[in-house]
Structure 1
Amino acid sequence: MKSLLKTPLYAFSYPFFDNFIYCDNAESWQIGFQDSATPMMEGIINLHHDLMFFTLVILILISWMLLRTTWFFEYSENKMASNLTHGVFMEILWTMTPALILFMIAIPSFSLLYAMDEIISPTMTIKTLGHQWYWSYEYSDYVKKDYEPVSFDSYMMPEEDTEVGQLRLLEVDNRMTVPIHTHVRVIVSAADVTHSWSIPSLGIKCDAVPGRLNQASLFMKREGLYYGQCSEICGMNHGFMPIVVEAVQLPNYISWLSSKFEL
């Protein structure tokens, strides 16, 4: 059976490559977010946009006040200094306004934090274990004939082994594969030092701490390849333990899982 790992999800004609894989990864000179693939990341992006609105309003208001003050209270414009030392109304206003803004920001922030921490009746569980310097994945819901769970290691693919269209320093030999439209619980830990399982498009950054189990939830809304890296400085090869999550349709996931049982 042909392994699904060698088959790109999205391939199209590209002027410089015969076969280019459409995937979610950082682009050159990118200043915004990667496209969201989970409801969690959508919430993070929406909260960021809301906060930027308040930030711009405050920036414009404070800049206007500073410029107006500098212009009208310059010595040539106002040679007689003001004797005003207190303004009760103004002091109440500039104390209450920031408090109201923080209150308006807190409500969606608390909702998002609660949603990120809540695990909704997972259909499947995947254990992720960080090592120096690679990742191990265990699909503990599925057991082979020898009563061992489906598990594999995921190493960064050497540059000389990458194919046309694959990403240097981001491609791995075994991708973590999940079905779309399925609630997945990811349990994250480490075997040696502290790592961090981080994928920007999925809105996940979960610390992998030895002796501790952290968890995160996934609900993939679309197919694709999602790239991440360890975001905790874990030693000499910290920058060489990438993460690749492949989201596929349920029939393709079953085919991939069947190939793992044959190993």
Structure 2
Amino acid sequence: MATWSYLTLQDASSPLMEQLIFFHDHIMLVLVLILTFVGYLMASLFSNSLINRYMLENQPIEIIWTSVPALILIFIALPSLRLLYLLDEINSPSLTLKTIGHQWYWSYEYSDFLQVEFDSYMVNSNDLESSSFRLLDVDNRTVLPMMTQIRVLISAADVIHSWTVPTLGVKADAIPGRLNQVSFLISRPGLFYGQCSEICGANHSFMPIVVESVSTNSFLNWISSSSEM
């Protein structure tokens, strides 16, 4: 079970990621069935001359194996276009978070509140606690409320970075001079880890992201304590 978990997508923590996993699993099922059927046909063609002549000289079969792949592509394209639309849709966010990529750390600003901003650096291996993850934990986590529509504005101060949290289904490039945005809703509490997924320099692998999902009351208490600092 542990080995298999490394070969699949991370557990979903947002409705968008649930849709992405559903789409991925069902498309893979269709592709496996197609590969099995095509493999069977290829083996039959090479092993039986009668089937070989029947398959190659039959016009209805040629029409079928031309039209069926087109229908399969439509079957794949329609839900994928729907998902692409949902990923770009911004639905009246209740909270806006601004993040800026630097070489090699992230800075965050809660635009709806005054003086709530901080830098987030990777925790050095020598300072890690026993419960922390090497190369993934940060000194300042990004705290966000669960069951709240959140918009993240993403940019960069120097080179191209990429703000990526797989379990939330979020991945957006941070480009200097340009403001990208993503929207998501976190469906459960917990710690969700991500990393910069753009090769941005020598320390590219040392700018992790940690999103801490908490209840709304806990988030408001955190905001109050952060504003007083």
- What SS class does the counterpart of residue 113 from structure 1 fall into? helix
Give, as a single letter, the amino acid of the residue that structure 2 aligns with 1:34: Q
1:180 corresponding residue in structure 2: 146
* Alpha-carbon distance in 1 for matches of 2:5, 2:82: 32
TM norm structure 1: 0.82
1:41 corresponding residue in structure 2: 17
In the comparison of the two structures, how many residue pairs are matched? 227
1:91 corresponding residue in structure 2: 62
* Alpha-carbon distance in 2 for matches of 1:27, 1:247: 27
* Alpha-carbon distance in 1 for matches of 2:55, 2:13: 56
Matching residue within 55, 58, 61 for 2:37: 61
RMSD, aligned CA: 1.9
Q: Is the 8 A contact 2:55 2:61 kept in 1?
A: no
Runs (5+) with no aligned partner, structure 1: 1-25, 144-148
Runs (4+) off by over 2 Å: 26-29, 81-88
Instruction: Identify if the C-alpha distance between structure 1 residues 157 and 232 changes in structure 2 by more than 3 Å, giving closer, same or farther.
Output: same
* Alpha-carbon distance in 2 for matches of 1:178, 1:199: 13
* Alpha-carbon distance in 2 for matches of 1:85, 1:65: 12
- Aligned pairs for 1:149-164 (under 5 A) are 149-164=115-130
Runs (5+) with no aligned partner, structure 2: none
Instruction: Identify if the C-alpha distance between structure 1 residues 47 and 133 changes in structure 2 by more than 3 Å, giving closer, same or farther.
Output: same
Q: Is the 8 A contact 2:108 2:118 kept in 1?
A: yes
* Alpha-carbon distance in 1 for matches of 2:155, 2:56: 58
Say if 2:100 is the partner of 1:129.
Answer: yes
Shift of 1:153: 0.2
- Structure with the higher helix share, 1 or 2: 2
Shift of 1:155: 0.3
* Alpha-carbon distance in 1 for matches of 2:189, 2:59: 58
1:214 corresponding residue in structure 2: 180
Matching residue within 136, 158, 163 for 1:192: 158
Say if 2:137 is the partner of 1:171.
Answer: yes
Shift of 1:39: 0.5
